[in-house]
Structure 1
Amino acid sequence: MTKYLIIARVGDNSLHHHWINSKNKNFDIFISYFGNEDNKYANNADYYEHVKGGKWPVIAALVDKNWEIISKYDAVWLPDDDLLVDTNSICKMFDLFTAFNLSLGQPALSIDSYFSHPCLLQKKNSIIRFTNFVEVMAPIFSLTSLERIKHTFSQSKSGWGLDFLWPHLVDGKIGIIDSTPVTHTRPIGGELYRLNPELSPKMDIITLQETYPNISLNKKKIDLKYIHK
């Protein structure tokens, strides 16, 4: 059995086929498809489901339902389906996540990516930056961290606020992995909100703040410390 797992909510324009363009990989992939075609990506996946809905509520249910399977892996990546990256980079990303003993992390974004936080763009001559923040677009969790925070996935339907909450709930190091950047190929939030018009990021973060009154979920300074090549 491989050490790592990708869980991805994917649609008809998903780029996940680039992630598995080589048979030499150190990860399995769980595809959760939200489109309209029967068994569209079943042959691409080690595990597969076909479920409508937003990313985080569906992943919350998926993780709970399949925890016996998921708990056998050392780390789990939850990327959006519009991230462009190949198999070799993902394998290296997982290896660096483990080598630096991270609890929570993400790959950096390539310089030509659509982005919300400039600090997440790749820094040249850096292997990894230790930080206090990763984005909901592509978080990697150690199994211990995933077990600690998986209950939060259902607490924000849009995902807003979760990335500022998670660092308060995990123990250990958090990092942005610069050596293995991914390219975010589409504008922020477009398909998510088009397909799920009921989502309300503003209300989600208000509700999340009420759930965790002792944790400030306001955007704060993101601290970064570099490890150079």
Structure 2
Amino acid sequence: MVELNKTTVGDNSENGAHNMVKLTIDNCEVVVPEHTTILDAAKSVGIQIPTLCYLRDLNEIGGCRVCVVEVEGCDQLVAACNNYVLDGMVVHTNSPKAREARRTNVQLLLSQHDSRCTSCVRSGNCNLQTIANDLGIFYLPYEQHLAREGWDFDFPIIRENDKCIKCMRCIKVCESVQGLGIWDLTNRATHTAVGTRGRVPIGKT
């Protein structure tokens, strides 16, 4: 089985016409146009695959690894948001292997996240919270590390840095939709964070 990444495969169909692809997702036969992502193929038959960093046409990087699924014939799990379906593909969206990887990925995100949900305005309306509850995450096996970066609370925009899960959606929207380019990734590896580009104080951006 060959993994096809959305970012590297072009649409070679003539006049916008698409060949149809038949595959199986969670024992359900699915027929969709070629160049359909696994995420969209599953959604077309009512199968929901959780996502955090995904934002259609803007942020389809598979960075959070929450949407990973198991594809028969592939040694590694694949991100459903940016991999195309293949004819005859057999996908398991909620297999023990996929679910355990998803659980670990969310636990790692939470280890760098301020998880005081009871005092958070998004409690009860939070995708991260919903996914964590669905995965049965009620305690963290990893030591929590919060960046504790400062913020100018006199500025009209209030940002709680320790709530950031580094999904990069704000970066993409600011750059591609609003055309401002204020936000960017700062540092790398385990110290990766989202902040103002060039670390300019927010009041001067």
TM-score range, shorter chain: under 0.3
Greater gyration radius: 2
More strand by share: 1
Provide TM-score, normalisation by structure 1: 0.24
Provide TM-score, normalisation by structure 2: 0.26
